[in-house]
Structure 1
Amino acid sequence: MQALRESQAAQAGSNFTTVVGGSDFDEEYLTNVTFGEQDFLLIVDTGSSDTWAPQIGFACFDLDNNPVPQSQCAFGTSGYDTNASTTFVADPDTNFNIEYGDGEFLTGTVGFDTVTVANMVVTNQEIGVVTNAAWEGDGFDTGLMGLASPNLTSVFKGTNPDDDEFPQTQIPYNPVFYSAVQQGVVSNPFFSVALDRGSFAAQNSSDLDQNLGFIAFGGIAPVDVTDTAVTVPVQGYNAASFLPENGSSVTYFYYTVDVESMSFTGNDKVFGTTNNIILDTGTTLDYVPTQVADAFAAAFDPPAVKNEDFGVYEVVCSATVPEFTVDIGGVTFTVDPADNLLPLGIQDDEGNDLCASGTFDGGPAEEGNIFILGDTFLHNVVVTFNIETDEVTLTQRTPYTNGGTGARRRSPESLRRRSS
């Protein structure tokens, strides 16, 4: 496993601050996590809640549930050896069972171990031990660290995943950071994330991009910011209907916020309130209401055009991109145009390099649809998630460059949407 390098800056903000690295052509964000005495690189995901790794000897499947060689799952190590951990304890009569928004799915057993991340040591942490994986890995990650609510965890009663029903047989538990707060490991009940956009040069390589931002547990990610900031409540849900709802009796699942409006340079329309929108480090693109995505794509010069086969808006990489804006809590946050040109590594009939817009169609703005502010938006802000007050603070980052130019050899199908 290739470990991420620590830097002096990574020690700022709190005692539990560490770097994140980019993988999968800088479309995933990973950090070092230890189970017992075994080290892994795990995906940092605010759109799900479970922390897991594959057990050594796991079975690999494609997304159609057909058995394939282990190598096709492309984990960064051979897996987690529970027998080699002196602190692992199995949790009998339970099972781990999750499916992500991009179609990947996992089942397995459940146990407890000491989990260490950013020098933050959490004892007796419940984790998923994956024995069956349909996973499209990148050769570096060996699992995922979920940071959302306990209500979204994926442990169930019994040992047969076919009998699992959410929430009837679910057994909620505390994710890693919730456990750290409960155990008094951190002095503040919040964590903070700053994700850098990768340079085109780094994204032209399949190597690990080792310093691509920070995650701070109990502190604030140490990057330059502006005075533009707001703190807003996390939106709760009606547990029965799974629809967003405000009030004192709501259930929390995702880090969901109310967005008052979205717009872009030169736009004269008003795109009003959008609720049910998740702040998700595990998703590459922003998934916004159809009318917003279509209007934004049309404002590119030349316009971006939806490619139904690939599921993205395509445009020549030389296009002029409007500055996208998002209003939250009465404050306007801007998205750098660089985040809305994602080279695809393909060309049109005239030999022009083609890019994808980082802002995509998440469906009509109607009841029940979930939208996402993914890495396209998150590259431009520091987000601090307070699990005690159920609030998030967004702070606009000082503009920064992505460090280079060039075409990224990205498969359009690889753009991640991993909220579970």
Structure 2
Amino acid sequence: MVQKALLSLLVLAVYSAYAAEIRHVRSSRAPSSSPVELPAAPFVVSLTDKVPRSSAKKQALRELRGRASSSQTATIAGSDDDEEYLTSITVGGHNFTAIVDTGSSDTWLAQVGFSCFSLDSTPIPAADCFFGSAGFDPSTSKSFVSFPDTNFNISYGDGEFLTGAVGFDTVTIGGLTVTHQEIGLVTHAAWEGDTVSSGLIGLAYPGLTSVYNGSNPDLDGANNSLLYNPFFFSAVQEKAVKEPFFSVALNRGSFAEETNSTLDPNLGFLAFGGIAPVEVTKTSVTVPVQGFETTSGTSGFFFYAVDVDSWVFPGSNKRHTAGSVILDTGTTLNYVPTQIAAEFNSKFKPPATFDEDEDTYFVDCDATAPAFSATIGGVEFTVDPKDQILPFLDDTGNVVCISGTQDGGPAEADNIFILGDTFLHNVVATFNIAENNITISERVAY
């Protein structure tokens, strides 16, 4: 049996009570496949190792269903099993490692002295939450300002939860600094951590933020939700960055890197104000972000969702299905409609097998993966077969492999699917929060 933390596959996004029931609202804007001239980013931070964490985003999304300048760049790295992308963040002058997630919106850190709980809310030692540090101590920051009578509150689909205080501090990522960023400080955590990261950097829309009026998390809901600007939205508002877009390039790790237990550096870039510094081809498209409508009748943006024209693989006949698709750095795999997943996985040689207990397609580690593409805005983007076979260590230490494209549920109009790291390894995604569009650029093969 594959370890629970590995099968979770980094599905991190959470849903707020405000957005508990939303439905897709199709944009009328046309995609553009004309060449897009994006400037180099003035702020760039490298991404390091991906680390395994328990699953929450897939369930959270199901809860939502039915309802030219220079730039700054940070490198990305990864650690144990290369299952989650991390980077460095400085808060109040103190450095931490945090998860990079385009599928959620809050920036949060564990606070020093936090209480740790099991998933059934039983108190357990703090070490069992497996944060990468003792946490952030706001008393040691000269720039920290408390936000009284509020609370930070995220509940995850697998039983994990984080609650705590709220404040403002100076936050720097990849040289880009926001001087008054609202952050969550986790004082109570049921968290199956990775021993490396101490928090998360959420880059999605304000509609997914998780701060509430009042100090009692048990009373939180849509009526006391206090939406706020996530980090990059604050940077644009403070005019700390010239261009209102950020860009992500995720590198795939090697088979050896994915099965080691060390931190793997240089796994890509998070770039602010321009395109991430990797080679791309002339194949690109700019498509509108798809909005959603809440049950109260208000509409807006939450995730970075796009429409997929068709799924392309042997025998597919360029199959079109209903449902919107999220581009999400916080999810390792692609989660596609049930029938697409079944047909695609049958094309492995030998075919993948579906384990109902694990809700997962397993493949032979030496299998031949079929070709696979997603057509977005009339442009076909191909996933390298290397991204379709993912190795993990089972409970006995043996290497087992799963398919990079899994079952995300039935193809229904209000369902939300995911193009995760399996897809994103092959493109550069540039998110424009002013125009509410995404430019997808094909990467040069690597």
Q: What is the deviation of 1:347?
A: 11
CA distance in 2, matches of 1:315, 1:14: 44
Counterpart amino acid of residue 210 in structure 1: P
- CA shift at 1:346, angstroms? 4.7
TM-score (norm 1): 0.87
Shift of 1:205: 1.7
8 Å contact 2:45–2:87 — kept in the other structure?
no
Q: Quote the residue 1:316 is aligned against.
A: 364
Q: Once the 2 structures are TM-superposed, how far is the Cα of residue 241 of structure 1 from its aligned partner?
A: 6.8
Distance change >3 Å, CA 300–CA 116, structure 1 → 2? same
8 Å contact from structure 1 (residues 148, 255) kept in 2 = yes
1:339 aligns with 2:380: no
CA distance, structure 1, for counterparts of residue 159 and residue 280 of structure 2: 36
Match of 1:22 among 62, 78, 102: 78
Identical counterparts, % of pairs: 58
Tell me, yes or no, if the aligned pair for 2:92 and 2:144 is still in contact at 8 Å.
yes
Residue equivalent to 1:116: 172
| Equivalent residue for 2:206, pick from 143, 147, 150 | 150
Q: Which runs of 5+ in 2 are unaligned?
A: 1-42, 47-67
- Provide the residue aligned with 1:416 in structure 2: none
How much does 1:362 deviate?
A: 0.5
Corresponding residue number in structure 1 for 2:434:
388
Q: Does 1:359 pair with 2:405? A: yes
* Aligned-partner residue type, residue 262 of structure 1: W
1:59 is aligned to 2:110: no
Post-superposition, which runs of at least 4 consecutive aligned residues in structure 1 deviate over 3 A?
8-15, 100-103
| Higher alpha-carbon deviation: 231-240 or 63-72 | 63-72
Aligned to 2:284: 229
- Find the residue that maps to 1:181 and give its secondary structure: helix
Which amino acid in structure 1 is aligned with residue 300 of structure 2?
A: T
Report the AA paired with residue 445 of structure 2: P
Q: CA deviation at 1:69?
A: 1.4
| 1:372-387 → structure 2 map (5 Å cutoff) | 372-387=418-433
Cα distance in 2 between the residues matched to 1:181 and 1:40: 23
- Does the alignment pair 1:250 with 2:299? yes
Structure 2 residue matching 1:58: 3-state secondary structure: strand
- 2: CA distance between counterparts of 1:204 and 1:310? 20
Moved more, 122-131 or 233-242: 233-242
In structure 2, what residue type is equivalent to 1:386?
N
Seen in structure 2, the aligned counterparts of structure 1 residues 241 and 284 have a Cα distance that, compared at 3 Å, is farther
Question: How far off its partner does 1:168 sit?
Answer: 1.9
Residues 189-219 of structure 1 deviation map (CA, whole Å, 9 limit, x = unaligned): 0000000011122222221111100000111
Deviation at 1:131, TM superposition (A): 0.4
Q: Is the 8 A contact 2:44 2:272 kept in 1?
A: no
In structure 1, how many angstroms separate the alpha carbons of the residues matched to 2:69 and 2:427? 16
Is residue 90 of structure 2 the alignment partner of residue 42 of structure 1?
A: no
Distance change (3 Å), C-alpha of 1:260 and 1:138: same
- Report deviation, 1:292: 0.5
RMSD: 2.2
Amino acid at match of 1:382: V
Is residue 115–residue 189 contact of structure 2 (8 Å, CA) maintained in 1?
A: yes
Contact 1:16 1:120 in 2 (8 A): yes
The CA deviation at 1:105 is: 1.7
1:176 is aligned, of 228, 231, 239, to: 231
The answer for unaligned runs of 5 or more in structure 1 is 1-7, 243-248, 401-420
Distance in 2 of aligned mates of 1:32 and 1:287: 28
Deviation at 1:37, TM superposition (A): 1.1
Q: Do the aligned partners of residues 393 and 71 (structure 1) sit closer, same or farther apart at CA in structure 2, a change above 3 Å counting? A: same
**CA–CA distance in structure 2, aligned partners of residues 346 and 80 of structure 1:** 34
